[in-house]
Structure 1
Amino acid sequence: MRDNLPERAEHGGRVRWHRTREKGELLDFSANVNPYPPAIPWCPDPSALKDYPDDRYEALKETIGRTFGRDAAEVAVGNGSVELIRAFCYTLLGPGDTACIAAPTFAEYEMAVRLAGARCTADESGAAVRFLCNPNNPTGKLHSRPEILRLLGEAAGQGAYLFLDEAFIELSDPAQSVADVSDENLFVLRSLTKSFAVPGIRFGYAFGTPELIEKVETVRLPWTVNTFAESFAIEAFRHYDLLEESRQRIARERTWLCSRLDGLGLDYAPPSANYILIEVPMEAEVLVERLLSRGVLVRDCRSFGLPRHIRVAVRTREENRQLIEALEACLP
């Protein structure tokens, strides 16, 4: 038995567990999903469950390829983005390798690197892979497309891969995406379930060169995208353009929510997506428990190494108003 496994990463979105404990309804601000998802005409067909999914996912990959102007051979799919993070790391990293990860950011990068037997570092020199989340989780920092292309050039010049996580860019500014760029040193990760507010189906996808995608798909466990997830994803991509309205509504609510945080005298990182990292004048765990007692669940950022920060999703106006009222009551 391996005794050097890293501890499991902490995540938001544990509302179902909390509801069981609290015996009541909760407003979940801990998970960053689209509060204004497009309404798409999807009705699952139970008869589809009698067959295995097509593990090549040809129809799904062709649909994704058409949406982004990529060949189907340049598309990988998985049971959520985390599966693809781990498949990528198992494909490219091993003992003796290092991966550059700048904190604070999504904990699953480090988890996947360490499970692959490699080491994490903040030093770019000599790293086999550089991880970048754009916009970053939890800070919301958004790099421009020219910045990303410059970083890709630097990585390629050192023989390294740039692993670019664009899980939230669809709810931020897709003009800054490089999902259309084919480069042998680039792997771009996406998540459909956040933008369409269906995290329960677990679906992620990614882009890379055909050679890299073939390796990642070889490492990925077979049939991990279930039939319902596949059929939903195909229908969602047919209505992908409807996310523009979601972005506009989120931007308006984000502005409103930031103005109310200003009124409370709270500092926050400049947000670009559907979540805000807030510095609070007390230990985060204390505030989280106080908010929970009022039926509001937020993300405790201690696991990001930020003991006096919380992260809150941007939700609807009425829900955001309830968050502000709860903060007013719970802050010192």
Structure 2
Amino acid sequence: MLEHGGRLQRAIQHYGIAREDWLDLSSGIAPWSYAIPEIPLRAWARLPETDDGLEQAASAYYGAESLLPVAGSQAAIQALPQLRGRSKVGVLSPCYAEHAEGWRRAGHELIELREDQVEQQLDSLDVLVVVNPNNPTGRLVPAEQLLDWHARLASRGGWLLVDEAFMDNTPQHSIAAHADRPGLIVLRSFGKFFGLAGVRLGFALAERALLLQLAELLGPWTVSGPTRILGQACLLDTAAHQQQIIRCTEASQRLARVLGAAGFAPTGGCDLFQYLVSDQALRLHEFMARRGILLRLFTAPLSLRFGLPASDQDFQRLEQAFNDYRKEHP
């Protein structure tokens, strides 16, 4: 299995630091979780119902006509490559590594592309995969560019797959409203913005015929009854959405200032994380970990992703660690 952030238990064992003493900044998940609604007993006792209002709440939230709830967008990432015959697939990289792995594992011809290579390669591709905003760089491809790429692919029966896992903070840049167009697939993640990654909920947005194929492949009851109730309550809580957007934006901007003041101005980022390319990344990752601060390390290129600290105390702890680092590595 590929490496991911959030591997706190492994860090606990490796560094011998108790769970309650860690500041885990290794994943791009909002550190403020939505309140869990009361879950009625019937949600635990009965098989999940698909006419309970979750799809309608998600359609309103994403502005999409047709969608399919899935057990985290990861489920769709792994299943979608099985719905095409052998294809030439371009993945805009670096990005969330499960995309390339999923298409490669399913036997497709895979090429990883930089953004400036897409125009040259697009007409030779059957599928283009874009994470937008990108994970881990935070790069945001304009909607107009994505829709142009889609039109060119769809004219030949191709797909544009856009993973909008980190888009909830900037919904004005989403292309979810266009996902009913043939050949356009948009994935949305529930857990990151709502701070509830453990519930394993996501959505695939696409034309209805493709969603029926995906549903058939995934099988029935892929999303549990309690998750459906929880997801619906969060998606309908519009006042809390705005509060979450504001505090994520403020925390991300503050995090960028902390990094800059420490001499590590971010290379990129979005409202759920900041990204730093640095030849000191490996040393800084180890230094922070030994002080109970877990970051996400990438090796190609050598870089770090910083999730959002949740409180003033967490920010002060990170700033103090940077001060200590500068003393040891002036």
TM norm. shorter chain > 0.5: yes
Name the residue aligned to 1:34: 30
Q: What CA distance in whole angstroms lies between the structure 1 residues aligned with 2:325 and 2:51?
A: 49
Residues 66 and 246 (structure 1 numbering): CA distance in 2 closer, same or farther, change over 3 Å?
Answer: closer
Q: Which moved more, 1:136-145 or 1:117-126?
A: 117-126
Matched, 1:52 2:42: no
**Residue number among 100, 103, 113 corresponding to 2:103 in the alignment:** 113
- Give the C-alpha shift of residue 35 in structure 1: 2.7
TM-score (norm 2): 0.88
- Give the C-alpha shift of residue 241 in structure 1: 4.8
Residues 114 and 57 (structure 1 numbering): CA distance in 2 closer, same or farther, change over 3 Å?
Answer: farther
Residues 150 and 37 (structure 1 numbering): CA distance in 2 closer, same or farther, change over 3 Å?
Answer: farther
Gaps of 5+ in 1: 1-7
Name the residue aligned to 1:315: 309
Name the residue aligned to 2:88: 98
Identity %: 24
Structure 2 SS opposite 1:82? helix
Name the residue aligned to 1:180: 177
Q: Which moved more, 1:176-185 or 1:29-38?
A: 29-38
Q: Give CA deviations for 1:234-269 in whole Å, capped at 9, x if unaligned.
A: 111111452222222222222222222222221422
Q: Give 1:299-310 correspondences, 5 Å limit.
A: 299-302=296-299, 305-307=300-302, 309-310=303-304
- Give the C-alpha shift of residue 209 in structure 1: 0.5
Amino acid across the alignment from 1:30: S
Matched, 1:133 2:116: no
Structure 1 SS opposite 2:229? helix
Name the residue aligned to 2:287: 290
Structure 1 SS opposite 2:176? coil
Matched, 1:43 2:34: no
Q: What CA distance in whole angstroms lies between the structure 2 residues aligned with 1:211 and 1:143?
A: 27
Name the residue aligned to 1:87: 79
Q: What CA distance in whole angstroms lies between the structure 1 residues aligned with 2:92 and 2:61?
A: 31
Name the residue aligned to 2:117: none
Structure 2 SS opposite 1:132? strand
- Give the C-alpha shift of residue 138 in structure 1: 0.3
Q: Which moved more, 1:145-154 or 1:162-171?
A: 145-154
Q: Which moved more, 1:215-224 or 1:203-212?
A: 215-224
Q: Is the 8 A contact 1:77 1:84 kept in 2?
A: no
Residues 153 and 321 (structure 1 numbering): CA distance in 2 closer, same or farther, change over 3 Å?
Answer: farther
Matched, 1:165 2:163: yes
Q: What CA distance in whole angstroms lies between the structure 1 residues aligned with 2:79 and 2:288?
A: 37
**Residue number among 53, 61, 64 corresponding to 1:70 in the alignment:** 64
Structure 1 SS opposite 2:107? coil
Q: What CA distance in whole angstroms lies between the structure 2 residues aligned with 1:143 and 1:170?
A: 15
Gaps of 5+ in 2: 114-120
Q: What CA distance in whole angstroms lies between the structure 2 residues aligned with 1:287 and 1:120?
A: 33
Count of aligned pairs between the two proteins: 314
Q: Is the 8 A contact 2:89 2:108 kept in 1?
A: yes
Q: Is the 8 A contact 1:37 1:246 kept in 2?
A: no
Residues 57 and 188 (structure 1 numbering): CA distance in 2 closer, same or farther, change over 3 Å?
Answer: farther
Q: What CA distance in whole angstroms lies between the structure 2 residues aligned with 1:38 and 1:82?
A: 21
- Give the C-alpha shift of residue 153 in structure 1: 2.2
Kindly report the root-mean-square deviation, in angstroms, between the aligned alpha carbons of the 2 structures.
Answer: 2.0
Q: Give CA deviations for 1:141-164 in whole Å, capped at 9, x if unaligned.
A: 112222322222232244321101
Q: Give 1:230-245 correspondences, 5 Å limit.
A: 230-245=228-243
**Residue number among 195, 198, 201 corresponding to 1:197 in the alignment:** 195
Q: What CA distance in whole angstroms lies between the structure 2 residues aligned with 1:273 and 1:15?
A: 22
